[in-house]
Amino acid sequence: MRRLGAEFLGTFCLVFAGTGAIVINDVSAGAVSHVGIAFTFGLIVLAMIYALGEVSGAHLNPAVTIGFFLARRFEGKWIAPYVASQILGAIPASLILGEMFPAHSTLGATFPSGAESQSFILETILTFMLMFVILSVSTGSKEKGVLAGVAIGAIIALEALFAGPISGASMNPARSLAPALVVMQLNSLWIYLSAPLLGAAVAVGACRCIQANGCCCPGAREAAST
């Protein structure tokens, strides 16, 4: 329960801070700025890794959880509880933002700015990059330590900086699902549910090919329950 509670809380904080930055930027005539939004996402993930990495691994993302499973670092019996905790943590964050800013129409939901195929490819590659970094700096199935927090927070901020205006740079099905459900704008949601899973799976294969250890990356031989 501590692990599931950590995933619930961490994903709540991620969605509340990250999509909250988008909402506040909209209602304050751009006071936060695109750069501020990108750094908000990166910094909240960095903070949650430091706060919760030792407890649950601070996945905060169904694609990351499934990626760790495919990399044989995470037991399959934990996938459904982790993903459920992440989604259940994300939804209250969007509900609270909806109560605070009832006039906002999207609550930070992600939508493609151009063709859906363009955003699908972009989200796949973004998640590939994110998952590759996570596998390379994490220990077993846990994102923890100074190196992990800085590297993962940095790649999220970087990707949000250059790709946010096109696809929203979600890389996280729970982050996109919650605001979409609250405002009931489900068009194009399939992109943000499927592309991150594909990107994470491709990253696992790439990591196996590139990294020296037999199961992708440093710490991969630790038991999946660590």
Packing angle, helices 33-52 and 2-27, rounded to 10? 170
**In the structure encoding, which two tokens stand for residue 164, read together?**
């946010």
CATH fold label, 2-210: Glycerol uptake facilitator protein (1.20.1080)
| Dist CA 29 CA 21 (whole Å) | 12
For the stretch 97-127, pLDDT in tens is 999 999 999 999 999 999 999 999 999 999 9
> Does residue 226 have a pLDDT over 50?
no
Supply the pTM of this predicted model. Answer: 0.90
For the chain, the average pLDDT equals 91
**Residue 213: pLDDT above 80?**
no
Q: Region 45-74: what's the mean pLDDT?
A: 94
Block residue for tokens 């919760």: 52
What pLDDT is recorded for position 217?
A: 45
Q: Which residue has the tokens 């605070």?
A: 100
pLDDT of residue 220: 40
In the chain, where do the E strands start and end? none
Q: What are the tens digits of pLDDT across the range 198-207?
A: 999 999 999 8
**Cα 70 to Cα 51: distance, rounded to the nearest angstrom:** 25
- Spans of all domains in the chain: 2-210
